[in-house]
């Protein structure tokens, strides 16, 4: 079978902040997965991210764009931010910052980023963060909570989402898009151990439901949409789909500084068969409708994607008590996303159809849990 999007390419996972992007750009490697409490066996979703901003502007100490003195001087942020934390009712995001003068970055593929005991590569994650409440309160520019977390993990990236055209080398070199995306491991198996606030968690490949991607560019998107899971159960057979994963992302991309209408990239790898809903694949005649709603307790996503051969309808919800508002500075020093919902406990239903004589015929109705989910608009 020809591969449409499950095309591994670690060159797209390499460090990208060269040329103009070194002075005005960000590059991050995101990982999310589920662990089990060592004592109770209860599931706990975690995330770990390595975020680099404006390496050419590095000073001896990390430069924070939110500080008034830096705003007054026109200084843009520059640092490695190691972000780690968990979702659930005790959700937290912890940030540890390093001057990029003190960070080892491998300049090409395969990527490696290392600062003191924090390390990230294609196959390994190690590190620790410790933030006291006094420190978090005294440093709002850190944009984080208080807590302690350490981790030692291996990563096996099994199924990729290579978006193709939008991240082609020619367009990357021309900085055509404001924000690029590559999911080298949209289905990944993690293993190892985590300690969070004195409690131990075990990560196993079979129950990690893992995900790994990266974004880079000069600005973020608004709206910002992400949904993904490989913990999927077929309502048709009643069994878990062991060789399946879906991934949806995007919002309002900009090409050559011109914003496009609301667009999403979406794929479903269904037991080895690829269903592609990538708006940049014009020959597929992709159409997308999506909405986001919320009430006092819950947030809701509804995405309907269609190409010339198939339809995917995705409805996901997540409890607000399990989510956090994730924080980033843009390369210009502004904090554009102040209500970016971010969770790992989403759940919902996906209906996958094939078209026969132009009419949709149900292939399967799938229950999705452990869904990574995100939505935000500039405010």
With a CB cutoff of 8 Å and minimum separation 6, the contacts of 298 are 317, 318, 319, 320
Q: Is 378 within 8 Å of 222 (Cβ atoms)?
A: yes
Which of 213, 263, 271 is CA-nearest to residue 242?
271
Instruction: Please report the pLDDT score of residue 378 as a whole number.
Output: 85
- Bridge-based pairing state of the strands 147-161 and 324-325: unpaired
Q: Can you give the pLDDT at residue 170?
A: 43
**Ranges of each domain in the chain:** 19-376
Give a three-class secondary structure readout of 208-269: CCEEEEEEEECCCCCCEEEEEECEEEECCCCCECCCCEEEEEEECCEECCEECCCEEEEEEE
- In this model, does residue 348 exceed pLDDT 90? yes
Confidence of residue 278 (pLDDT cuts 50, 70, 90): confident
Superfamily of domain 19-376: AttH-like domain (2.40.370.10)
Q: Which helix (H) or strand (E) holds 173?
A: helix 169-173
Q: Which of 288, 261, 289, 262 is nearest to 276 (CA)?
A: 288
- Give the pLDDT confidence of 183-229 residue by residue, as tens digits: 999 999 999 999 999 999 999 999 999 999 999 999 988 889 999 99
Token representation of residue 330: 């843009």
Report the mean per-residue pLDDT for the chain: 93
Kindly state the tokens that stand for 45. Answer: 């979703």
56-91 pLDDT, tens digit per residue, is 999 999 999 999 999 999 999 999 999 999 999 999
Q: Which pair of tokens denotes residue 246?
A: 């879906």
What whole-number distance in Å separates Cα of residue 192 and Cα of residue 208? 10
250 in Cβ contact with 358 (< 8 Å): no
Q: Comparing C-alpha atoms, which of 142, 36, 155, 144 is closest to residue 85? A: 144
User: For position 260, what pLDDT does the model report?
Assistant: 45
What would the two tokens of residue 367 be? 């229950």
Rounded Cα gap, residues 325 and 92, in angstroms: 9
User: Is residue 37 within 8 Å of residue 44, measured between CB atoms?
Assistant: yes
pLDDT value at residue 70: 96
Q: Which residues of 363-377 are buried (b: 16+ CB within 10 A; e: fewer)?
A: bbebbbebbbbbbbb
R_g (Cα) of the chain, nearest Å: 20
pLDDT tens per residue across span 87-107? 999 999 999 999 999 999 999
Q: Do the Cβ atoms of 118 and 105 come closer than 8 Å?
A: no
Tokens representing 195 are 């300690």
Q: What is the pLDDT of residue 221?
A: 85
Residue that the structure tokens 């079978």 belong to: 1
Is the distance from CB of 216 to CB of 25 less than 8 angstroms?
A: yes
Residue 170 and residue 188: Cα distance in Å, rounded? 28
pLDDT at site 176: 56
């Amino acid at each position: 079978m020809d591969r449409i999007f499950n095309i591994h390419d670690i060159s797209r996972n390499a460090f990208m902040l060269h040329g103009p992007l070194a002075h005005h750009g960000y590059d991050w490697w995101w990982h999310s997965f589920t662990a089990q409490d060592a004592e109770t066996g209860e599931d706990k979703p975690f995330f770990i991210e390595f975020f680099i901003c404006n390496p050419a502007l590095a000073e001896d100490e990390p430069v924070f764009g939110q500080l008034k003195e830096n705003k007054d001087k026109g200084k843009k942020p520059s640092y490695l931010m190691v972000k780690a934390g968990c979702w659930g009712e005790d959700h937290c995001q912890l940030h540890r910052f390093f001057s990029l003068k003190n960070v080892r970055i491998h300049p090409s593929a395969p990527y490696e980023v290392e600062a003191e005991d924090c390390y990230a590569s294609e196959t390994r994650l190690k590190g620790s963060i410790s933030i006291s409440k006094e420190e978090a309160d005294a440093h709002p520019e850190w944009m984080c909570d208080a807590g302690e977390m350490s981790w030692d993990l291996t990563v096996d990236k099994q199924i990729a989402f290579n978006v193709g055209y939008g991240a082609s080398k020619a367009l990357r070199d021309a900085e055509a898009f404001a924000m690029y995306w590559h999911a080298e491991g949209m289905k990944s198996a993690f293993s190892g151990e985590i300690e969070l606030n004195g409690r131990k968690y075990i990560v196993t490949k079979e129950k990690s439901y893992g995900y790994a991607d990266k974004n880079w560019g000069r600005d973020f998107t608004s709206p910002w949409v992400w949904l993904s899971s490989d913990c999927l159960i077929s309502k048709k057979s009643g069994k878990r789909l062991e060789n399946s994963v879906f991934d949806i992302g995007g919002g309002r991309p900009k090409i050559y500084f011109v914003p496009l209408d609301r667009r999403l990239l979406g794929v479903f790898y269904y037991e080895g068969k690829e269903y592609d809903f990538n708006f940049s694949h014009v020959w597929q005649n992709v159409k997308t409708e999506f909405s986001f709603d919320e009430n006092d307790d819950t947030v809701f996503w509804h995405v309907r994607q269609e190409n010339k051969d198939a339809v995917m309808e995705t409805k996901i919800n997540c409890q607000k008590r399990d989510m956090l508002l994730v924080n980033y500075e843009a390369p210009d020093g502004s904090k554009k996303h102040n209500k970016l919902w971010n969770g790992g406990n989403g759940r919902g239903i996906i209906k996958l159809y094939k078209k026969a004589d132009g009419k949709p015929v149900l292939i399967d109705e799938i229950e999705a849990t452990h869904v990574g989910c995100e939505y935000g608009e500039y405010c």
